[in-house]
Amino acid sequence: MDENFTSWTEYFIVNKQSLQPIYWDDPYRLDPQEYATIARSIQQFQIGESSEGKFLIESTKRYLTGNPDKSYLQALIQFVHEEQRHAQDLALFMDKQSIPTIRKHWVDQTFRKLRRFATLEQSITVLLTAEIIAAVYYDALKKTTKSRTLIELCEQILRDESMHIEFQSDALRQFARKRPKSINRFTRFSRLFLLSGTLTVVWFYHGKVFRAGGYSLKAFLKGTLAEHARSERIIERRMHFPAIP
């Protein structure tokens, strides 16, 4: 990485200290319809947030061998911690609602294997795909329930995921800036191809949540493609680093 990522490390640290309050003592219990709508879906997203990031961190260390600037690695570690917070918070909510966590799911395992055997750039692309989908998923999830805890948790995760998209896109920009436009056109297409294929799987497994949250298939595609377009704009040109509200 040629660009210094210290600003991102600082962002993640400050964000950890600026989390919006979540009302964990909400006595509300999911009604049978809410439970049936979200239980299996939230199990899959919770396990997807729970990665320790070992292979990604090791891949980054190898990529940065000989590079004295380790600011991207430091920022990446903070990002992984933030993802783990999401997993822990989701698990806490699930425990309060008697939704058991799961240890594995083939979709999550497939994504992890893709990252394990991929280059660093490919691993980041897989992560970015997940972040783009999450930005729409958690918006739908918060609209499926009357649980104050889940609504506030989704709102915090949404704020985080928006910045995660920018972080991953900023990293991918470092690879793109070193290549000719012809190669970058191909990589843009490959990112869209991966996203398009993933959307089919996500809608199949989580369509119940999206529909309950007011997303038709058309709206789901529109929302994810809008986030994808925002990501591509960041990759093509560096955006100003946003201030934390």
**Mean per-residue pLDDT of the chain:** 90
Mean pLDDT for the stretch of residues 205-230:
97
pLDDT score at 243: 46
Query: Is the pLDDT assigned to residue 32 strictly greater than 90?
Result: yes
Q: State the burial class of residue 122 (Cβ atoms within 10 Å of its Cβ: 0-12, 13-18, 19+).
A: middle
Mean pLDDT for the stretch of residues 74-81:
96
Query: Cα–Cα distances in Å, from 79 out to 85, 163, 223, 242?
Result: 10, 10, 24, 16
- How big is the CA angle at 157 (ends 28 and 187), to the nearest 5 degrees? 145
pLDDT in tens, 175-196: 988 888 889 999 999 999 999 9
Sign of CA dihedral 200, 204, 205, 206: positive
pLDDT in tens, 95-104: 999 999 988 7
Question: Can you give the pTM of this predicted structure?
Answer: 0.90
- How big is the CA angle at 90 (ends 93 and 84), to the nearest 5 degrees? 145
Query: In the chain, what are the domains?
Result: 6-17+29-236 (1.20.1260.10)
pLDDT band at 4 (very low <50, low <70, confident <90, very high): confident
Percent of the chain with pLDDT over 90: 74
Mean pLDDT for the stretch of residues 198-203:
93
Greater pLDDT, 241 or 65:
65
